[in-house]
Structure 1
């Protein structure tokens, strides 16, 4: 059994088209999406329609939820945080309008998780979520050692970022997720944690689109391959400059020239 899992498209149609074309070459048994499809990009509707036509199973992410149920701004935010919240909320409203009612309703019906069992044993199961097995917001961060090596600093110290409450009730043997746009695979007890990263807006300094290819073999269990796909970032920059969604200049400048 081979399953391709991609996540965090954030409205980048050029990257999504390239990733799905690459996935087709791999000929997986199943294609799964792990959340955050439309928000923070120029072509949310086209991304949703393409994903629906070429993906087998979905889960929703925090930005998918924000489109149909915008979060409330906390009372105790700083002025700078208030501006960030407002930009996010403006993007959610704009994306909602571009998607239309039928597509927003479809997003609202997506499940929180998907579970795939290659055997009758629960500890062999693959659990697909957006961020963690309990909610769509709290991150499962890489180890301190990985962060130092790949990111050049420890941004989420393990001592301050306790993931035990997020995982201790999980019976699956492997969890695949996105949310934090940094690809990595680690062990936590008997569970494999596979961050399959993001199609868009990378946080690891590598501007290629990313997805994961997971393979089940009876003798080995689950293995995880990180897939890196270069795409036409210039084209997506041009689209952002033409359509001008909220925060388009930041989004454009986040893509390499």
Structure 2
């Protein structure tokens, strides 16, 4: 059983197309989406349409929550609050009421089992859409944040930095970001779990996509914070 976890598309439909094409070549059995579907990218509507067409399990991310109810003071740096709300308003103009209803109704976690392998997936932490848990966190912190629910594999997204760690016999994997990576590579990222009769294998997959096309989409748009987003896309860093 091959299972792919994609997340943090952030309205980058070009990167999403490339990731789904790569997944198809790997004969993946099932896809799960861990949130942040369409905010902060040039194609929010098409990104959401692609995800909904997949007819797969999807959970909510912080950016999806922001689109639904706005960005509150304290959730981003004060200096970024005004411009990010302008970005939200731009994204909302590209979406209809059905899209917002869909985002509002998304669950916040996934629990399932393949054979003897239990998987627990969430966007940031089981208790928060916003909390940041970095790859370098102390093992005790990862155990405290993630492992209240019993599972063999804990999968999350949110930080845009793919990694894999093993803690007290448990596996933690971050998907990285399809549309807006922060780890210095400009390739899209997703997580792959290959479950066999006697165990499982985890991997982070990187996929090239037409970055120049996405940059051009921003350049030709009236997106209110496009210079910042283009810089992040071009460098793979915040």
Partner of 1:148: none
Partner of 1:64: 64
Work out whether residues 117 and 125 of structure 1, in 8 Å CA contact, stay in contact via their aligned partners in 2.
yes
Partner of 1:16: 16
Residues 1:142 and 2:135 aligned together: yes
Partner of 2:95: 99
Distance in structure 1 (CA, Å) of the matches to 2:226 and 2:24: 30
Which portions of structure 1, spanning 4 or more consecutive aligned residues, are displaced by more than 4 angstroms?
none
Distance in structure 2 (CA, Å) of the matches to 1:170 and 1:229: 32
Distance in structure 1 (CA, Å) of the matches to 2:163 and 2:19: 18
Give me the TM-score of the superposition, normalised by structure 1. 0.85
Alignment of 1:59-208 (within 5 A): 59-74=59-74, 81-119=77-115, 124-143=117-136, 158=138, 162-208=141-187
Work out whether residues 68 and 96 of structure 1, in 8 Å CA contact, stay in contact via their aligned partners in 2.
no
Say which SS state the counterpart of residue 10 (structure 2) adopts.
Answer: coil
Distance in structure 2 (CA, Å) of the matches to 1:74 and 1:56: 33
- RMSD value over aligned CA atoms? 2.0
Distance in structure 1 (CA, Å) of the matches to 2:80 and 2:35: 21
Shift of the 211–125 alpha-carbon distance from structure 1 to 2, 3 Å rule, reads same
Distance in structure 2 (CA, Å) of the matches to 1:210 and 1:72: 29
Distance in structure 1 (CA, Å) of the matches to 2:183 and 2:118: 28
Displacement after TM superposition at 1:140 (Å): 2.6
Alignment of 1:224-235 (within 5 A): 224-235=202-213
Residues 1:249 and 2:232 aligned together: no
Work out whether residues 19 and 209 of structure 1, in 8 Å CA contact, stay in contact via their aligned partners in 2.
yes
Considering only CA atoms, is the larger Rg found in Structure 1 or Structure 2? Answer: 1
Distance in structure 1 (CA, Å) of the matches to 2:51 and 2:147: 32
Aligned residues: 235
Residues 97-131 of structure 1 deviation map (CA, whole Å, 9 limit, x = unaligned):
21111001001111111112113x6xx31112111
Distance in structure 1 (CA, Å) of the matches to 2:9 and 2:36: 6
Distance in structure 2 (CA, Å) of the matches to 1:168 and 1:256: 35
Partner of 1:213: 192
Partner of 1:34: 34
Give me the TM-score of the superposition, normalised by structure 2. 0.92
Distance in structure 2 (CA, Å) of the matches to 1:138 and 1:168: 15
In structure 2, stretches of 5+ residues that fail to align are none
* Structure with greater proportional strand content: 2
In structure 1, stretches of 5+ residues that fail to align are 144-156
Shift of the 88–232 alpha-carbon distance from structure 1 to 2, 3 Å rule, reads same
